[in-house]
């Protein structure tokens, strides 16, 4: 059975009727073009439908509706016309109605077909419908499943009554002006961040007064079903209405969904008493990928939906003289490149292209591969969730100013066609912050045409999307430092990795410099054991040190950023291994000791793999430094010189199986251990935005002999 879509394409203002100056309602004609035969037929048959206003407009207090609920819609071929009204409920907007023009998007028609209504909501819970706050494995709170009798079919159907989340979106009056309000009307939700702030809220202590607008949120994620928010919030007798943006789209609704409530009643009510009522309807599933729980909860992204061939095909649409192009719900808009791509003119060109990308009435540009295949790609991309529905596609990573300009518009996904690029330190830090910190939710994707692979930026390096889960499972990141030359003997390192892989399994990850010699051998061995391997490389091709391209995770710093690259290695790793090496290895050893001395790294054994006594004076030197009190007394106790892999394995496993016992035996003061745990964890969370950081607080008894 083919299930028709119950929702129309976006409609826009077709005509604006004259109004008196004092009138607070704007009367207009709304046009919904290219509406499906099913929706046209359902409207003729008198099936129930709603007009769902544009989300951005509702979130600033604009109410759009039919002019009269009894007035019939006008159908001409596949176009539907509706006489409507626009009303401003936000006193801060002043003359907002004067900003609406012909062509502005206004909303969609939604048929609430009782034959497609979902009767048993429990059947969908935790599969393709996640509601409420997670308080345990498979257990959520903050909602209630209720029942009612459908007035048209007489069948008993479920609906969900949901609590509000404890925060709200507050307007910033000083930031609201005709320009910023017009940006919301033209661009939608993407322009809202410039006029409001998200603030925590005590629901029990806050009341919604008559005549007030409240913008908050509920927690819900949807798979391949529609949710329709009831226009009346509970309790019904309080006359609290939800503004017209009432459709929860399949796939594109995930995590927090904003709600806009206006109090038309006469007495205040506590926000903890208000409930949002939602009914659910079936829809056609446009996806060809499996419906996965974690992706339903967190939202589908571009890398979840497209094959590498389809990704490659997207780049063929970029014109030669373009900076790139913007994809927005199937709309491809070129960004012309200015004569000076780093000047103010380029930023203005980007703004114009972003505005053009919001228009839905133009025919999308066809890509190579035929119209049928292109249409299939557009259907997949139509389910991109929320801010991820807008994508910048380019042949090189844009300047930071360009990223900021695109991000301010609400664009969050950057898809770049580059093989083995190198970056400035500031650029890498910016990508980490935008990808993981706060509510940015950006994603940086890199397509490598040589290998035909798509890589996603994750906690500081590019990796295939499927490897992100492997990355998160690693507890012990072993940094292997050593020579890139053929003369160095790496047999001990190889032996040690073989031994540790058996003992630590997927909890072990390898960090290295992403170059030749020891780095390549460690990387190749990690791949044989299916151990996560991350290369932190640097552009040293002029020094005959070409970076690897076979690492599970890889990031490459530009020439001259040796210390920034070393700092990245230090921040990701927590177990340093120093092999036979040269000047660079000596520098890395000194940096490692210093990082532990100032408590930026968790205190751990510094393993010297030293079969030929290359580092024999290191221990003596650190002992002398400590004796003269030039450095802390605990530093020499961390250095462990090992003549074979078995000694190194025993030292590491002994430490990991009971860190506190190891500290005690090696005379490491407890106050230094605790200070390093706190400081190192804080710095790592700030630098790489990792939620879980291993700083050796708990014994791992399963590793004991």
Per-residue confidence band for 207, with pLDDT thresholds at 50, 70 and 90: very high
Residue 360 has pLDDT above 70, yes or no: no
pLDDT tens figures, 443-487: 999 999 988 999 999 999 999 999 999 999 999 999 988 766 665
End-to-end CA, the chain: 60
Q: Do domains 114-166+201-287 and 469-703 have the same CATH topology?
A: no
**What SS3 string covers 545-603?**
ECCCCCCCEEEEECCCCHHHHHHHHHHHCCEEEECCCCHHHHHHHHHHHHHHHCCCCCC
Parallel, antiparallel or unpaired: strands 331-336 and 413-417: unpaired
d(C-alpha 465, C-alpha 456), whole Å: 6
Q: Which pLDDT band, with edges at 50, 70 and 90, does 363 fall under?
A: very low
The predicted pLDDT at position 367 comes to: 53
Q: What is the C-alpha separation between 243 and 213, in angstroms, rounded?
A: 10
Contacts of 518 (CB under 8 A, 6+ apart): 480, 481, 482, 483, 484, 488, 490, 493, 512, 579, 581
Residue 493 has pLDDT above 80, yes or no: yes
Rounded Cα–Cα distance for residues 589 and 609 (Å): 12
| The pLDDT of residue 204 | 93
Beta strands in 118-195 (DSSP E): 129-131, 133-136, 139-141, 143-149, 156-163, 167-171
Q: Does pLDDT of 385 surpass 70?
A: no
Find where tokens 């190192």 sit.
Answer: 680
Average the pLDDT over each of 426-430, 567-571, 688-692 and give the range with the smallest value: 688-692
- Work out the percent of the chain whose per-residue pLDDT is above 70: 93
The domain 301-458 is placed in CATH, from the list 3.30.420, 3.40.140, 1.10.3470, 3.30.70, at: 3.40.140
In angstroms, what CA-CA distances link 524 with 465, 566, 574? 20, 21, 21
pLDDT tens string 515-537: 777 778 888 888 888 999 999 99
- pLDDT at residue 329 greater than cutoff 70: no
**Res 313 pLDDT > 70:** yes
Greater confidence (301 vs 670) lies with 670
pLDDT for 72 equals: 87
Q: Are 245 and 54 in contact (CB under 8 A)?
A: yes
Q: What is the pLDDT of residue 1?
A: 53
CA distance 425 to 68: 59
The pTM of the full predicted model, rounded to 2 decimals, is 0.84
pLDDT in tens, 93-124: 888 888 999 988 899 999 999 989 999 999 99
At residue 212, what are phi and psi to the nearest 5 degrees?
Answer: -105, 150
Mean pLDDT score of the chain, rounded to an integer?
87
Distance CA 21, CA 460 (A): 56
The tokens describing 437, both together, are 């910190």
Can you list the positions of beta strands (E) in 471-540?
476-481, 508-512, 532-538
CATH of domain 114-166+201-287: 2.70.40.10
The domain ranges of the chain are 1-111, 114-166+201-287, 301-458, 469-703
CB atoms under 10 Å from CB of 247, counted, come to 20
Q: Among 27-31, 426-430, 618-622, which is the least confidently predicted range?
A: 618-622
Mean pLDDT along residues 417-432:
94
pLDDT in tens, 156-180: 999 999 999 999 999 998 888 888 8
35-84 pLDDT, tens digit per residue, is 999 999 999 998 999 999 998 899 999 999 998 888 889 999 999 999 99
Residue of 599 and 297 predicted with greater confidence = 599
Q: Which CATH number fits domain 469-703: 3.40.640.10, 3.40.50.920, 3.50.30.60, 3.40.50.450?
A: 3.40.50.450
Cα-only R_g, the chain: 30
Q: What is the model's pLDDT at position 296?
A: 84
Q: What is the mean pLDDT of residues 295-301?
A: 82
How many helices (DSSP H) and strands (DSSP E) are in the chain?
Answer: 20, 36
- Comparison of pLDDT for 17 and 23, the residue scoring more: 17
Rounded mean pLDDT of 612-634? 84
Cβ count within 10 A of residue 533: 27
């Amino acid at each position: 059975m083919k299930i028709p879509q119950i929702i129309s394409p976006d409609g826009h203002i077709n005509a604006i009727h004259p109004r008196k100056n004092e009138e607070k309602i704007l009367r207009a004609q709304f046009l919904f073009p290219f509406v499906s035969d099913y929706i046209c037929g359902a409207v003729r048959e008198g099936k129930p439908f709603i007009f769902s206003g544009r989300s951005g407009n509702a979130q600033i207090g604009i109410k759009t509706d039919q002019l009269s609920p009894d007035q019939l819609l006008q159908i001409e071929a596949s176009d539907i016309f509706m006489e409507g009204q626009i009303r401003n409920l936000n006193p801060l907007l002043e003359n907002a109605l004067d900003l609406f023009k012909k062509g502005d998007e206004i909303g969609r028609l939604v048929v609430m077909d009782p034959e497609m209504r979902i009767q048993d909501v429990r059947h969908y819970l935790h599969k393709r419908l996640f509601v409420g706050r997670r308080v345990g494995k498979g257990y959520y709170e903050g909602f209630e499943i209720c029942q009612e009798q459908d007035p048209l079919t007489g069948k008993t159907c479920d609906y969900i009554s949901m609590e509000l989340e404890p925060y709200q979106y507050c307007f910033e009056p000083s930031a609201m002006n005709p320009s910023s309000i017009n940006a919301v009307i033209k661009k939608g939700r993407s322009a809202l961040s410039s006029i409001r702030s998200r603030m925590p809220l005590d629901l029990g202590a806050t009341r919604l007064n008559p005549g007030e607008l409240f913008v908050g949120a509920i927690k819900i994620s949807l798979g391949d079903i529609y949710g329709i928010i009831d226009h009346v919030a509970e309790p019904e007798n309080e006359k609290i209405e939800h503004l017209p943006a009432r459709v929860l789209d399949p796939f594109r609704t995930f995590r927090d969904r904003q709600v806009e409530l206006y109090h038309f009643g006469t007495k205040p009510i506590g926000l903890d008493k208000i409930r949002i009522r939602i009914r659910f309807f079936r829809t056609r599933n446009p996806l060809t990928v499996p419906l996965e729980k974690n992706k339903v909860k967190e939202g589908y992204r571009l890398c979840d939906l497209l094959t590498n061939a389809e990704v490659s095909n997207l780049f063929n649409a970029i014109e030669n003289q373009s900076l790139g192009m913007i994809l927005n719900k199937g709309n491809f808009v070129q960004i012309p490149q200015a004569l000076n791509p780093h000047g103010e003119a380029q930023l203005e060109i980007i703004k114009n292209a972003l505005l053009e990308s919001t228009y839905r009435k133009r025919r999308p540009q066809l890509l190579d591969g035929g119209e049928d295949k292109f249409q299939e790609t557009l259907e997949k991309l139509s389910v991109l969730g929320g801010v991820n529905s807008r994508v910048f596609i380019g042949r090189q990573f844009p300047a930071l100013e360009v990223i900021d300009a695109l991000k301010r518009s609400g664009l969050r996904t950057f898809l770049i066609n580059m093989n083995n690029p190198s970056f400035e330190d500031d650029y890498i830090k910016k990508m980490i912050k935008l990808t993981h910190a706060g509510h940015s939710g950006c994603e940086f994707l890199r397509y490598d045409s040589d290998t035909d692979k798509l890589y996603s930026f994750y906690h500081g390096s590019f990796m295939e999307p499927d490897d992100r889960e492997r990355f998160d499972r690693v507890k012990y990141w072993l940094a292997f430092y050593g020579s890139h030359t053929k003369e160095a003997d790496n047999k001990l390192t190889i032996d040690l990795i073989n031994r540790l892989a058996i003992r630590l399994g997927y909890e072990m990850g390898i960090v290295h410099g992403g170059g030749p010699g020891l780095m390549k051998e460690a990387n190749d061995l990690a791949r044989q054991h299916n151990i996560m391997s991350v290369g932190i490389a640097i552009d040293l091709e002029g020094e005959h040190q070409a970076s690897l391209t076979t690492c599970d995770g890889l990031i490459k710093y530009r020439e001259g950023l040796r210390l920034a690259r070393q700092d990245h290695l230090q921040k990701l790793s927590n177990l340093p291994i120093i092999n036979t090496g040269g000047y660079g290895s000596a520098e890395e050893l000194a940096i490692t000791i210093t990082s532990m001395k100032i408590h930026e790294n968790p205190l751990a054994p510094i393993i010297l793999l030293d079969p030929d006594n290359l580092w024999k004076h290191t221990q003596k030197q650190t002992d002398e430094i400590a004796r003269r009190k030039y450095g802390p007394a605990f530093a020499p106790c961390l250095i462990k010189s090992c003549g074979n892999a078995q000694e190194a394995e025993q030292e590491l496993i002994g430490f990991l199986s009971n860190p506190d016992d190891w500290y005690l035996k090696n005379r490491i003061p407890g106050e230094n251990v605790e200070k390093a745990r706190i400081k190192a964890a804080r710095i790592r969370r700030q630098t790489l935005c990792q939620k879980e950081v291993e700083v050796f607080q708990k014994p791992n008894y399963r590793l004991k002999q």
